[in-house]
Amino acid sequence: MIRILIADDHELFREGLRVVLDLRPDFEVVAEAANVAETVAAHARHQPDLILLDLQMPDGTGIDALKVIRKAQPDARVLMLTTYDGDEDIHRAIAAGASGYLLKSIPSIQLEAAVRAVIEGRQYLPPAVAERLAERAAFQALTGRELEILALIARGLSNKDVARVLAANEFTVKAHVRNILAKLGVKTRTEGAILAIQRGLVQV
């Protein structure tokens, strides 16, 4: 039996999720919590196999609860289940020790697959979330100069214009652009600029 704690500040969502989970014969919802304090207390009391944890709560964030729980029990298994899909939210949750990050819009069959994967000790990230984490890592690999050049490219400047703005050699700028494209895994300057704008990493 997989014992589950549901932690979400919306009662209606908790009730609906309980119904979905109860349809699985080997799933058992042992407790519910509506805020960070209740989540930490319920985990300590019931010692569930898995926590389904929302990101935003009235008295803090799910990540606050995650950190406290992981400090008390380093091998605690936690799946974030939320409506928040920002890159920073995803990164912070995984960095804090979450075993997966799911959006509430997922079908129940995917939720079941995620629960089973995490119980087996694997991390579960839907393809779209995994792709965004990979993109974030790629952007973090860019140097300050490369980010500066990417921002200028996103504003529509040519290599020659970028070189003039930065008082740099055009050949040096071209070399930087090649490195940027390689690190981001894209083929053209336009693709790199669009990716940066979409992720909010470059302001235009």
In a domain, 164, yes or no: yes
pLDDT at 203: 59
**121 and 145 together in one domain:** no
Give mean pLDDT, residues 142-148.
Answer: 92
Q: What's the number of domains the chain is made of?
A: 2
* Residue 164: domain span: 141-198
pLDDT at 116: 97
The contacts found for 190-199 with CB under 8 angstroms, 24 or more apart, are 192/150, 192/153, 193/150, 193/153, 193/154, 195/135, 196/139, 196/150, 196/151, 196/154, 197/154, 199/87, 199/132, 199/135, 199/136, 199/139
**23 and 107 together in one domain:** yes
Residue that terminates a domain, selected from 68, 93, 125: 125
Cα 184 to Cα 141, 142, 173: the distances in Å are: 9, 9, 16
Mean pLDDT for all residues in the chain: 92
Q: What pTM did the predictor assign?
A: 0.72
CATH code, domain carrying 150: 1.10.10.10
**95 and 177 together in one domain:** no
